[in-house]
Amino acid sequence: MLSRFADLELARPILEAIEREGYDTPTPIQARAIPAALEGRDILACAQTGTGKTAAFALPILHRLLTAERDTTRRGPAVPRALILSPTRELANQIDESLRTYGRNSGLSGAVVVGGVSQFHQVRAIRNGIDVLVATPGRLQDLIQQGVVNISEVEFFVLDEADRMLDMGFIQPIRDIAKAVRSDRQTLLFSATMPKTIERLAQSLLTNPVRIEVKPERQTTALIEQSVYMVHRADKQNFMARLLNDPSVERAVIFTRTKHGADKLTKRLSMDGTTATAIHGNKPQRQRQRALESFRSGNSRVLVATDVAARGLDVDGITHVFNFDIPNEAETYVHRIGRTGRAGATGFAVSLCDREERGYLKAIERLTNNRIPLLDMASGPALPRAERTEHSERAEPVRQDEIREERPSRPHTEGRTERTEERPKRTRTGGSKGHRKGQANTPQGDAGSESQPKRKPRRGGGSGWGVEASKTSGPKPRTKSGVKKAPGKKRGAPRGAAKGPAGKPGSGVKRVRRSDVV
């Protein structure tokens, strides 16, 4: 196995770029894949995330493009000669950044084609001519159907994180794209796992491939100190806020199961003063890119993400990974915690497990062959259940006997007196139509109280609140005239009341009824 990049016989501009980045020794996957790729062999490689797979295919592709003779008979802009498919936009952008870093002095050009953003700049870059195209399957198919991109001259075809693309349902788009490229191409397939679906895909796309399976000298999980807390779902947000108060959490990634949960947790942490940003599939590409840049630069201390960022997220200095929700797939857990403990460094992975997630936790322990230590909430830097803050998402159910003890014991007459004093002054009025005669004039809910002073039933009784009583908290005030107005009529003098010179009631002139005269 080669011990230095200088022994790989790469082109001089590429070696200078590698030295400038401070790389000297290739990783095991790089040392085994690069020589085979330089020979033109198809490769089927299986290696965990964080082992340097990107450079394992980027360096030989750049070398072969740089050293190959160009077709001088072709006119027009250059068409892509290398195509790299990625499952997510973030991973596609990171691959493009690596290609630009390693090929800065090569004179080669490239473009990224991903969804979630306008295709205007992508189309313009393609029409100007490119050598390397990094794309997600969905957007690439759209541009192929529009006739914007021509991949018939692709000589190097790479599938990165192939198992993830199959999980996302890209199996048929991959087959369609593979039919559109050259049949004598070189195909490189990299995957973190090797299920049977990947085996079948490799058999249909690769020709006599070199199989490479690299297991790190130290397992990724061995470099990461793992722990789990049993936390009720309603208490997870408060618990997470307390964990982030630990000064040792310098840069952290929090994984949630849903997009809504990521936004909700980000808002909650921001209320506590934690600089947090969210990234998930519902956010436009520009917002996702800004969130990643803010996290890389240190402006955001916490990145809340769904599994869209579980693979390909390459940020230095991540000290902690928190599983706010236990993933329902055990392999996803390994990819999540792989964001920390990279390049031989140690890291911390903390999981919050609800009672309903215990089955997922057991599946993870079976896969990793490791029993994750269970920590006590009371002894940790987290908030115990009994000490919830006012920001708690949902309080713990309280027993009815506790509610009775907290209520002040006072006779019903005290409450009745206070409510009576706060009411506006009431005057007697006629009962509304349809009420039973002789009904007691008491507020709703007070009928039958022995402490309520008895009142003389009034004629045409009834509660008198009407339809609007249910919309207000108190009784409806009575009119000054003592007569309740019918709905829809204007306020004024009662029927038959005389008007004075000014046309107002109450002028002192009594209207004489015809029956009185007779």
3-state secondary structure 214-257: CCCCCCHHHHEEEEEEECCHHHHHHHHHHHCCCCCCCCEEEECC
- Pair (288, 341) in one structural domain: yes
- Please say whether the dihedral angle defined by the alpha carbons of residues 199, 203, 220 and 86, taken in this order, is positive or negative: negative
Amino acid at residue number 279? I
Question: Are residue 149 and residue 258 in the same domain, yes or no?
Answer: no
DSSP 34-67: HHHHHTT--EEEE--TTS-HHHHHHHHHHHHHHH
> Could you tell me if 68 and 85 lie in one domain?
yes
Report the pLDDT value the prediction gives residue 34, as an integer from 0 to 100: 95
Instruction: Assess if residue 344 is contained within a domain.
Output: yes
Last residue of one domain, picked from the residues 359, 375, 391: 375
Best CA proximity match to 341, nearest among 160, 254, 218, 192: 218
DSSP tag of 511: P
* Same-domain check for residues 325 and 239: yes
Identify the domain boundary among 375, 397, 427: 375
Does 64 share its domain with 104? yes
Q: Cα angle vertex 325, ends 321, 331, to 5°? A: 70
- Residue 153 tokens read as 């001259």
> Strand runs (DSSP E) across 55-125, as ranges?
82-85, 110-113
Residue 59 belongs to a domain: yes
- Assess whether 230 and 304 both reside in one domain: yes
The answer to the question of residue 283 being in a domain is yes
Is 124 part of a structural domain of the chain?
Answer: yes
Tokens for 500?
């004075």
Question: CA separation (Å) from 249 to 134, 238, 240, 314, 342?
Answer: 34, 16, 12, 18, 16
Tell me the CA end-to-end span of the chain in Å, nearest whole number. 130
Tell me, what's the pLDDT at 158?
98
User: To 5 degrees, how large is the angle CA 132–CA 41–CA 96?
Assistant: 20
> Residue 328 is part of which domain span?
220-375
Angle between helices 285-297 and 89-102 (to 10 degrees): 60
65: in domain: yes
Let me know: does 75 contact 125? Beta carbons within 8 Å: no
What is the chain's pLDDT, residue by residue, as a tens digit (518 residues)? 566 888 888 999 999 999 998 888 899 999 999 999 999 999 999 987 777 899 999 999 999 999 988 776 767 788 999 999 999 888 899 899 999 999 998 999 999 999 888 999 999 999 999 999 999 999 999 999 999 999 999 999 999 999 889 888 899 999 999 999 999 999 999 998 888 999 999 999 999 999 999 875 445 566 789 999 999 999 999 999 999 999 999 999 999 999 999 999 999 999 999 999 999 888 887 888 899 899 989 999 999 999 876 666 778 889 999 999 999 888 889 888 988 877 667 899 999 999 999 999 999 999 888 899 999 876 554 333 333 333 333 333 333 333 333 334 444 444 444 444 444 445 454 444 444 444 444 444 444 444 444 454 444 444 333 333 344 444 544 544 445 555 554 555 455 444 444 444 444 545 545 554 44
Three-state DSSP class for residue 296: helix
Structure letter (DSSP) for residue 184: T
Q: What DSSP state is assigned to residue 82?
A: E
CATH number for the domain spanning 260: value is 3.40.50.300
Q: Is residue 450 part of a domain?
A: no
Contact 56, 190 (CB under 8 A): yes
Question: Do 185 and 270 share a structural domain?
Answer: no
Closest to 305 in 3D by CA, of 265, 356, 275: 265
Q: Is residue 508 part of a domain?
A: no
Count other C-beta atoms under 10 Å from residue 88's C-beta: 23
Query: Does a structural domain hold residue 28?
Result: yes
Q: Partners of 230 in the beta sheet?
A: 353
Count CB atoms within 10 A of the CB of residue 111.
22
Residues 144 and 75 in one domain: yes
317 and 174 assigned to the same domain: no
Check residue 309 and give its pLDDT: 63
**Of 323, 348, 375, which one is at a domain's C-terminal end?**
375
Domain count, the chain: 2
Q: Give the whole-angstrom CA distance, residue 332 versus residue 323.
A: 11
33, 150: one domain: yes
Q: Residues 154, 286: one domain?
A: no
pTM: 0.61
Tell me: do 135 and 275 sit in the same domain. Answer: no
Q: Residue 339 has what pLDDT?
A: 85
